[in-house]
Amino acid sequence: MPAKIIAISKTFPLETIMPLIEHGHLHYGENKVQEAKFKWTNIKNEKKNLSLHFVGKLQTNKTKDVVKLFDYVHSLENIKQAELLSKYENELNKKLKYFIQVNIAHEKQKSGIDPKDTKNFIEICNSKYDLKIIGLMCLPPYVETTEKYFSMMLDLKKSSQIPHLHQLTELSMGMSNDYLKAIHYRSTYVRIGTKIFGERK
Ligand SMILES: *Cc1c(COP(=O)(O)O)cnc(C)c1O
């Protein structure tokens, strides 16, 4: 399967995104809930096959809106979030698909779960909260050795499989600068903003 392209449309108005939607592209990503609600609520009602991916930080008071509007979340990283997401899925009778965000380079300033805790966390998300975890996501450091981290993510995906419980099939990694490298390490979803829409202000 070729990698799917998520067009990261944050900061751009719907009129800039519209030609791509009309062309038939289906996957879009946003990182701010308020902005996404404003831009996507109507068009998603009109075009049922569009998929919206949340790639920002999950905040408690915005979680319900995330479940309402989005189809995928790439930034699930702790139990409290899992519990809330599960609560709103039940309330709204809707199921999303989740990536676990992994802090693959152990960077202090970055979000994400420790690689060694990943498998256990997935197991809890599945068994206790009934969340559909489809893969792993990372935001590796911008360094020469990015490939090392992509390779570690591929290994972590393999070692995080839980037999009979679910299949962890997806990897969300690679942005405008490094998507070709990410695809080399079998990324299945690349998140591209700048290379599609231009520089952000
Ligand atoms: C903005 C963003 C991207 C896209 O970045 P570009 O370098 O513009 O392609 C990808 N992933 C996340 C999580 C982002 O916030």
Per the CB < 8 A criterion, the answer to whether 56 and 75 are in contact is yes
Rounded CA gap, 196 and 38, in Å?
21
Residue segments in the chain with a per-residue pLDDT below the cut of 70 = 165-166
pLDDT of residue 162: 83
Largest Cα span, the chain = 47
- What per-residue confidence (pLDDT) applies to 1? 76
Confidence (pLDDT) at 116: 97
Residue 49 zone, left/alpha/beta (φ > 0; ψ -120 to 50; rest): alpha
Give the span between the Cα atoms of 74 and 106, in whole angstroms. 18
Helix pair 14-23, 33-46: axis angle to 10 deg: 40
pLDDT in tens, 79-120: 999 999 999 999 999 999 999 999 999 999 999 999 999 999
Whether 192 is in the pocket of ligand 1, judged by its Cβ within 6 Å, is yes
Give residue for tokens 């599609």.
Answer: 196
Cβ-based neighbours of 148, under 8 Å, separated by 6 or more: none
Q: Quote the pLDDT of residue 143.
A: 79
Tell whether ligand 1 has an atom less than 6 A from the beta carbon of residue 191: yes
Strand 170-172 and strand 4-8: the pairing is: unpaired
Ligand 1 closest atom vs CA 194: 8
Q: Counting atoms of ligand 1 from 1, which one is nearest the CA of 191?
A: 10
Nearest CA residue ID for atom 10, ligand 1? 191
Q: Which amino acid residue places its CA nearest to atom 7 of ligand 1?
A: 176
Indicate the top mutation candidate among 35, 58, 175, 177 to test ligand 1's pocket, ranked by most ligand atoms within 8 A of CB: 175
31 close to ligand 1 (CB < 6 Angstrom) = yes
Integer Rg of the chain from CA: 16
Cα 171 to averaged position of ligand 1 atoms, centre (Å):
15
Q: Are strands 4-8 and 132-137 parallel, antiparallel or unpaired?
A: unpaired
φ and ψ at residue 140, rounded to 5 degrees:
-75, 165
